Structure 1
Amino acid sequence: MKGPLSGIRVLDISRAISGPYGAMILADLGAEVIHVEAPEGETSRFRAGPNYKGESFHYLSWNRNKKDLVLDFGTKLGKEAFFDLVRISDIVWNNFRPGSMERLGADYETLKKINPKIIYVSITGYGPTGPFKGRPAFDVAILGHTGVLNLTGEPGGTPVRPGPPVADMGGGIFAAIGALAALHERDRTGEGRKIDIAMQDVCISLLSYYFCQYFVTGAAPKPLDHSGHAFSVPYGIYKTRKGYIAIGPSWPRVARVIGADSLIDDPRFKDWDGRDQHRVELNAIIEEHLAKADAEDWVELFEAEDIPAGLLKDIDQVAVDPQVLHQNMILTLKHPLGGELTLAGNPIKMEGLSEEEYTAPPILNQHEHDVLTGLLGYSEEKIKNLRQEEKERTEERLSHVRKVW
């Protein structure tokens, strides 16, 4: 596929969200991403919930524009095939717990002996070393550990998980940035690099504003009334006669638009300190005025005064929003099992990227011939032997399970 990363080959052996999402970013930019899966498929492929022709929406969300190949690292020929791919690739991409890649015999120290120019990207929950390195890491646990959950919701209420998986997706994004930096450095030095991305660290970086606030004031930030902003009042989510509206920094213009001009010179609200001290009272007065009209009407009035404001929409509304469609953020792709699959698009817009060439997430082992024969030159007999080894190992494992039970 055409794009600025055309000619870069990535071996994506990750699973779930953080790894596949980050690798998909590289694929969207033109890299050849080969998603290497175990014979049973990676964990997100067959998860419960909505699916398209048996493929989980979870898997479909993060894996477009990739090729797919099954390899069993526990077999001699499976490991050999992976090493052969490492020799002709630029990036190896994983999101396993620390120690897992060593047990597979596919850690950085091993792979750089095979290809000294390889860039090795590892996404973990808490980092490759330290007291928490072996902890299982899921998005919500990381969000709690890093303080994100205690900053959401309303004062005195139950902490609220953000809609998107922030730690997972942030991990993938920062990993992609790290990989691009390593590619640039390799152009100058000819050497590969190991890149470690901890989802913990990603969340702390995303909370830079709050950490700075804490270190300056000595007080830990907490949720604010109306999902407000520590240094901007009014700001947040407000109820109208029908629906909710999100309002950004706009004082005193917002007071004029809602017909509350008297608030502007009110001693309680005249300066920021006063509005901060009386934010609950001010927000309540603003909502009283907003109750006179519907959210859509207020957005129109605010827009006329260049006040940043927006409706609170559901996904079905966003999917048909004219600006979203104009930005080509809703993609329809032909699926290899037939029919068309609709997905959220790529937010990176630049000349040379052709979204018309995008491909749907692949089915399991869809590109065996393209990769093993096309890239590695394997014969049909060698591929047959590889699959036979894989089958025998699977049967051996099943036999062991039966004996245990």
Structure 2
Amino acid sequence: MLRDSLKGVRVVDFSHVLAGPVCSMTLADLGAHVVKIEPLQGEIGRKIGPPWIDGESPTFMSVNRNKHSVSIDLKADAGRRVVREMIRKADVLVENFRPGVMASMGLDYESLRKDHPKLVYCSISAFGQTGSNMRRPGVDGVIQAVSGLMSTLGATQGDPLKVPIPVADMIGGYLAAIAVLGALHRVYRDQIGQHLDVSLYNATLMLQQIGFAAFFASGRNPEKTGSAAPYACPNEAFPTRDGWIMVVAYDMARWSALCEVAEVPELEHDSRFSTNDDRVRNRHVLHELLAARFIERSTAEWIARLAPRDVICAPLATYSDVTGTTEYRESGIARTVEHPAAGTVRTHGFALGPSDKPVKDEIPAPLTGQHTVEMLKLYGIQDDEITELLNAGVIRAGVAHAVAI
């Protein structure tokens, strides 16, 4: 099973908030054993994303499943000594501090590689580990702005918009996981680790490859097109009598079928709309003509008319709509987990395996320090040293629950 692909791989995860946790969660979903290193009070991502569920942030819970929390004071010499011992027995390290922070604790790649040449060390940051902007702070919204993404979003002449989900963090985290997988294969092949430099800025540029390709070819900045695709028409949303419908009919067969079903045969033979390029150039005129037809019927009526003619279409769904659909139920992504503080929680899980065989052994995001003692023991820290660390306040031990090691 894909879920067992990284079984036996150990990950020590120093990351926080979103991009790093998405990376380590993806590795955990693939079977890696992930130990999440947190400060004594818990990582700051635990306080982001209201509404909270019994004190736990849904945002945190959504990107930290299948991990084990070790709460430790990295400002203390003893704390850093313990994590260095853990790293020696790990395969992967993930961190997303600002460049220089790990080095200040003696936990940077150059310091660790001497004793661990096979270590895959993944650093995720806003602008990368080198260059004039390496220490520049950056969060998802800033990256969406500076990468050009925000300039492409919204209606013509409208205010700047951002993607409301943290798309820079998410794509950065997933690309970081891909980079780790490649680096692990190199370890398997050549017995050599490496330092991976994953920039959210670069990741968001990669996300826009098609847009930049069009810019390089034309020299023109992309126009804001709302729900429409800038390269195809019609490929956009139209208001109906009771909602909205997304319609994709830019190839000739579907364009012809759309004109027939919408009872506007004259548009098919209008020279302004003869080809896809013509329709893109005259998008605004065409949109008004088609919108006048779509508003006459309900979304369901239009889908019933268009779908049999193979015109690609779908209703614009809210989250409450989505979770009630057959597609959602059959996707295999929905989970209900028992969280030790929040109780029964609805969430999403790993969804890259067969949808008819959903993963059953996922564990919810951990409480702060929930697995401190058992994870330190797993990594070879002796009982007397653990007791000393507890007494000195260097580590925090939460309430543990049974997990498979």
2:309 pairs with 1:308: no
Give the counterpart letter for 2:181 in structure 1: L
C-alpha contact (below 8 Å) 1:168/1:199 kept by paired residues:
yes
Deviation at 1:300, TM superposition (A): 2.7
Look up the match of 2:377: 373
In 2, the alpha carbon distance for the partners of 1:340 and 1:97 equals: 35
Deviation at 1:354, TM superposition (A): 5.9
Any idea what the Cα deviations from partners look like across 1:377-404, whole Å, max 9, x if unmatched? 421x311211333369xxxxxxxxxxxx
C-alpha contact (below 8 Å) 2:245/2:316 kept by paired residues:
yes
In 2, the alpha carbon distance for the partners of 1:238 and 1:19 equals: 38
In 2, the alpha carbon distance for the partners of 1:299 and 1:23 equals: 41
Give the counterpart letter for 1:95 in structure 2: N
C-alpha contact (below 8 Å) 2:22/2:63 kept by paired residues:
yes
Mean Cα deviation higher: 366-375 or 143-152:
366-375
Give the counterpart letter for 2:134 in structure 1: K
Look up the match of 1:386: 389
2:332 pairs with 1:328: yes
Mean Cα deviation higher: 299-308 or 89-98:
299-308
2:384 pairs with 1:359: no
Deviation at 1:232, TM superposition (A): 0.9
TM-score of the two chains, using structure 2 as the length reference: 0.92
2:208 pairs with 1:207: yes
Look up the match of 1:168: 169
Look up the match of 1:401: none
Mean Cα deviation higher: 357-366 or 242-251:
242-251
Any idea what the Cα deviations from partners look like across 1:214-239, whole Å, max 9, x if unmatched? 11111111212x42222211111211
2:282 pairs with 1:278: yes
Look up the match of 2:147: 146
Give the counterpart letter for 2:133 in structure 1: F
Deviation at 1:332, TM superposition (A): 0.7
Gapped regions of structure 1 (runs ≥ 5):
393-405
C-alpha contact (below 8 Å) 1:233/1:276 kept by paired residues:
yes
TM-score of the two chains, using structure 1 as the length reference: 0.92
- Secondary structure at the aligned position of 1:332 is classed as strand
Of 294, 299, 317 in structure 1, the residue corresponding to residue 303 of structure 2 is 299
Look up the match of 1:233: 233
- Secondary structure at the aligned position of 1:220 is classed as coil
- What is the RMSD computed on CA atoms of the aligned residues? 2.0
Q: Aligned residues, how many?
A: 391
Deviation at 1:353, TM superposition (A): 8.1
In 2, the alpha carbon distance for the partners of 1:175 and 1:197 equals: 6
Deviation at 1:194, TM superposition (A): 0.6
Mean Cα deviation higher: 57-66 or 271-280:
271-280
C-alpha contact (below 8 Å) 2:330/2:355 kept by paired residues:
no
- Secondary structure at the aligned position of 1:55 is classed as coil
Give the counterpart letter for 2:197 in structure 1: D
C-alpha contact (below 8 Å) 1:142/1:199 kept by paired residues:
yes
Task: Quote the sequence identity (%).
Answer: 29
Look up the match of 1:100: 101
In 2, the alpha carbon distance for the partners of 1:353 and 1:313 equals: 26
Look up the match of 1:246: 246
C-alpha contact (below 8 Å) 1:258/1:289 kept by paired residues:
yes
Deviation at 1:48, TM superposition (A): 5.9
Look up the match of 1:288: 292
In 2, the alpha carbon distance for the partners of 1:122 and 1:61 equals: 21
In 2, the alpha carbon distance for the partners of 1:350 and 1:377 equals: 39
C-alpha contact (below 8 Å) 1:86/1:114 kept by paired residues:
no
Give the counterpart letter for 2:60 in structure 1: Y
Deviation at 1:374, TM superposition (A): 3.0
Look up the match of 1:73: 74
Look up the match of 1:348: 352
Deviation at 1:122, TM superposition (A): 0.6
Deviation at 1:296, TM superposition (A): 2.2
Give the counterpart letter for 1:247 in structure 2: V
Look up the match of 1:258: 262
C-alpha contact (below 8 Å) 2:56/2:342 kept by paired residues:
no
C-alpha contact (below 8 Å) 2:55/2:342 kept by paired residues:
no
C-alpha contact (below 8 Å) 1:29/1:353 kept by paired residues:
no
- Secondary structure at the aligned position of 2:393 is classed as helix
Look up the match of 1:64: 65
Look up the match of 1:83: 84
Any idea what the Cα deviations from partners look like across 1:240-260, whole Å, max 9, x if unmatched? 111111122342322222111
C-alpha contact (below 8 Å) 1:246/1:312 kept by paired residues:
yes
C-alpha contact (below 8 Å) 1:37/1:68 kept by paired residues:
yes
